A and B are shown apart, each in its own frame.
Chain A
Amino acid sequence: MSEATVTVTARKIAVGRDIPEPISAERAELYGWLGERLAGPAASEPSAEETVYVTPEELSSPAPDPRSYLRRYLPVGEGPQLLIVDLAENPYHLLGEPLLFNVARLTCGWHKDAADRSLVVLLPRLPPDSSGFWLELRSQDGTAPGTARLIVLANDGDCEVVRGEVPDSGFATGYRDRQARSEPEESPLSAKVVRRLGHYGVSGHGAARCRRYFFDVENAVPEIGRLADDWLTRVIEPRVPDRRLFLVSRDWQKTGLHEVVAGLAAARGCRFGRLDPDGRILDATGARQVDPADIDETVVPFFSVVDRTSTYDNVIRALRAQGVDLAPRAWAVMITSSQSGLTLAKSPVPLRGAMVCDRQSRPREECEQCAIGLPHTDPLRDGHTLRTYDAWDVFLASAWRFEGIAPPPSGRRFLYAPDLKEVFEEHGGWVAGKVMTLLDALGFPSGVVVICPDESPIRLVVDRLAALMEDRPTVIRIPSEVLGYHTTLDDGERSRHLRETQKHLWRRQLRHLSSRGGKVVILDGARVSGSTARTMRTILQLHHVEPRAFIPIVDFSEESDLEGLPVHPLYRIRAARSVR
């Protein structure tokens, strides 16, 4: 007799979202692997179509009750079942104790209803022992007969088997590796570092110079923390036998790195201080110098940005001159010259840079922006609009191509326009950073829903935006052909088309959105005739969704709004009528 099929169901819960989103192929593959490892060859293909979402309002209620959003997604029916409840891709701090407790209660209820129902809960990390999550889970221990399992897994491979057979020894590490593989391939740091264009004046090394770029790492603090922690654990601690460390950080004006390093020190129970530009060690507040004679630990220096070998050498020399015991290695978030990177790696105290990139500078007399008389850009503050020089420098450096995106009826389109795909490939992070600044200024710092055409140029920006905002913006991509239909079809054909697309993801997302409300903005690469934007708005209106703003990266239109909807372009060239 053949073994009964185990029905595998995966439910990925996405918190702080307003609509369901598709499950990635990598995630679906992970569920398949879990099914196979836990239920064996009898496991069915996992069923998982889209996320179960928990809105910000539900999250912020005093006791979020998952029954409203999870119960109807619980599998029903007879026979052996394996339910995978996936919370692993949410930031742990968003989950919160009430939500964890309620998810545990609800899923355990499902688990104990039959003897052949197994449950696996995937979390970003395991909650502390005191959590009500465990209380609820362990209260089920042994209450149901049969051979079903109840397992909780964390992203780092920590595995708690609450009930049932313990999986084989390779299971937890296999899960950890697969979990890591299902994350974006790009380095977590480079996706979060924004290379901002501007006119950055620097001095201090002889002649005053200007730089074109500034690397903003403000959004990458969690990644920096993880990388620095990993380096400290793998490289420094094995080389310092007594592990008595004094961590010191050097940052320029901002405090991000100081906070990261102070956190690392606190976690290790060791001291933290700041380095001043001359290499003196200050206390944690930076207000008072620490007497080197009082430092008997090994000093580990961390730097935010190292531009030149000489600067680094000077600081190391100064530290040594103070007579402190210096760690055999130092660490920097960024080394902004690949040449220096090579040299620094070979210096007496080798410096490890988490990122190495080239940032050239030129003397002021050779700087084009100085010749124009443009003021220097503030590296600490940035608005959402593009400076004329930055916008045009980027446009003129790109290939111009035939402008074929704007639908034809208006007759208003350019023969040629900058290739926005090329622009966003090169500067997508910078543009996304600007959009993020704009959303913040509009009062949508989180929980915003972005509606955009499913086209490659704007997709590049949206992907970077998602990385910068910790995956917080929810994105609904409307297929280009849909936008085309709506522009060209008559009312009857349009209705027929809408009926045919009832089950498409973007339609389902819009239907959820209409019942939820929420902060919705339309985003597009460019507005020329405005017909794409108008069509997107019409589609939203058909679903009773009212957007708050339209954000074109470049606006060529003569109009300041979109039929009454505020328009906030990053750059505006009022040229649609005058240039063909």
Chain B
Amino acid sequence: MTERHDYVPSDPGRWSEESAEDACRTLVHLLHARREQWESEDVTPDGTGDMKRSLLMADYASKAPRLPEEYKALLDRMVVEGFLPADPSAPLRRMPAPVAEKVRADVGVVTVIREELDAALAVFGLDGTVFETSEDGQRFYVTEIANGNQPARRLTVVVTAAGQAGQVRVGRPVHALVERFAPQAVFLLGTAAGVRGKVELGDVVVSDRVLYYEPGRYAEPDVWQPRPETEHGRHPFGYGLFYYDPRRSDFPARVADFVSCLPAHLRPDPPPPAHGPEVHTAHATIATGEQVLRDGMSLPQLRERHDETIRAADMESYGFVKAVGDRRWLIFRGISDFGDSHQFPEWKFLSSAFAALCLQDFLRTGYEPPGMNRL
């Protein structure tokens, strides 16, 4: 027979910051159980007892607002009872337990095609054979990542793939991700066609601005009046994107490491510059529609017609943003072609990987999770 530890993780494989419920329950308990330290004048003639109790109360007062209303009322009452004379015959009192709702993931990552998923798994160090699966076979790969703005708790990241391109088709997998993991933020990750002259192969466009260029009407036969729709992120600073600067992190080194580990036939030629792929975060709009752009004309025309800040085009961003709903979102796109007949199949995986490395770097160094810097 051997001895074993009885730790039962509420969320397997993850270290969790202490909950407000556990913290407040502890403080209320100590206010009762250690009362001899402040109630006996013999013990604390110099007033240290009062200071101990005051600090305990202050600690409780700062943490209790994070409690569910009903539970807070219960503990508040117990705090007040702490000022009543103690019953020496009372046994060690068990504290009431709360029922707390747990968020299962902090960040969801949605890819579309297989190369994008493979790149995300490789970059996030995920084992492709370990996943949760939905009834219809959608796979969810779970990992953790440290976040410099909230070092107390690592972010739980879930990666999934939509499987099929298109605005409509991306909706259901995103919905499944949100239903299952309730992530606070969802990021779309993959490749896009870039605007030649504005971006290079392998560059990464990070955006919270989407222009859906498909809507419009035929005012007359052959007279098409475009009525594009736009979506903007709701946060003025893009949850840290505004301040994010990959040149100040080890992003270039990570890209170089990643490339050096690739088999020779997957390595880009020429290799990415020493400072890493260019990451476009400012004034970068993603045009999105239902069409594969390969004529070399449509993408420049979209810029001229609608918005000069368009840097890239894809086929999922608008459907993604609609499916995400009120949650936080951003789009990370690696440039794999220029919307013309010249295709670069080897860049599908590579540019997805660069976008994934950029997302990983952003999560580590720039992303501001809700409630950061609060204990």
Interface residues of A (CB under 8 A from B): 200-205, 208, 252, 277-278, 307-308, 311, 314, 368, 371-385, 387-389, 392, 395-396, 400, 414-417, 438, 440-443, 560-561, 566-569, 571-575, 578-579
Contacts and interface: CB of A to CB of B under 8 A. Distances in A.
Interface in B66-120: 92-97
Contact of B26 (A374, A567, A571, A574): A374
Given A566-B373, A578-B58, A383 B17 contact: yes
A414 B51 contact: yes
A277 B16 CA distance: 29
Interface in B13-65: 14-18, 22-23, 25-27, 29-30, 33-34, 37, 46-48, 51-52, 54-56, 58-59, 61-63
B366 to A, nearest CB: 12
Nearest to A444: B148
Nearest to B374: A560
Given A371-B92, A415-B51, A442-B151, A388 B59 contact: yes
Interface stretch (B2-10, B256-264, B285-293, B343-351): B2-10
Nearest to B14: A381
Contacts of B61: 578
A202 B6 CA distance: 5
Contact of B7 (A278, A376, A568): A376
B58 A575 contact: yes
Contacts of A252: 5
24 contacts: A204-B4, A252-B5, A307-B3, A368-B29, A371-B29, A372-B22, A372-B25, A372-B29, A373-B22, A379-B5, A381-B14, A381-B15, A383-B152, A385-B152, A387-B23, A388-B18, A416-B46, A416-B51, A440-B146, A569-B375, A572-B375, A573-B62, A574-B58, A579-B51
A371 B58 contact: no
A492 B92 CA distance: 61
Contacts of A389: 26, 30
Given A377-B7, A378-B9, A396 B148 contact: no
A371 B97 CA distance: 10
B98 to A, nearest CB: 9
A442 B46 CA distance: 41
B153 interface: yes
Given A372-B25, A373-B97, A443-B364, A573 B58 contact: yes
B170 to A, nearest CB: 33
Contacts of B37: 396
B149 interface: yes
B contacts with A: majority SS = loop
Interface of B: 1-10, 14-18, 22-23, 25-27, 29-30, 33-34, 37, 46-48, 51-52, 54-56, 58-59, 61-63, 92-97, 146-149, 151-154, 364-365, 373-375
B8 A376 contact: yes
B151 A200 contact: no
Given A388-B22, A579-B54, 16 more contacts: A200-B7, A201-B7, A203-B6, A204-B2, A307-B3, A374-B26, A378-B7, A385-B17, A387-B18, A388-B59, A400-B48, A414-B55, A573-B55, A573-B59, A574-B58, A574-B59
A380 B47 CA distance: 41
Nearest to A561: B373
B261 to A, nearest CB: 18
Contacts of A378: 7, 9, 15
- 5 A-B pairs with least C-beta separation: A201-B6, A441-B151, A575-B58, A277-B2, A574-B62
Contacts of A307: 3
Given A400-B51, A569-B375, A205 B8 contact: no
Nearest to B63: A388
Nearest to B9: A378
A403 to B, nearest CB: 9
B228 to A, nearest CB: 40
Contacts of B7: 200-201, 376-380
Contacts of B34: 396
A203 B3 contact: yes
B214 to A, nearest CB: 42
Contact of B6 (A277, A376, A396, A567): A376
B5 to A, nearest CB: 5
B23 A400 contact: no
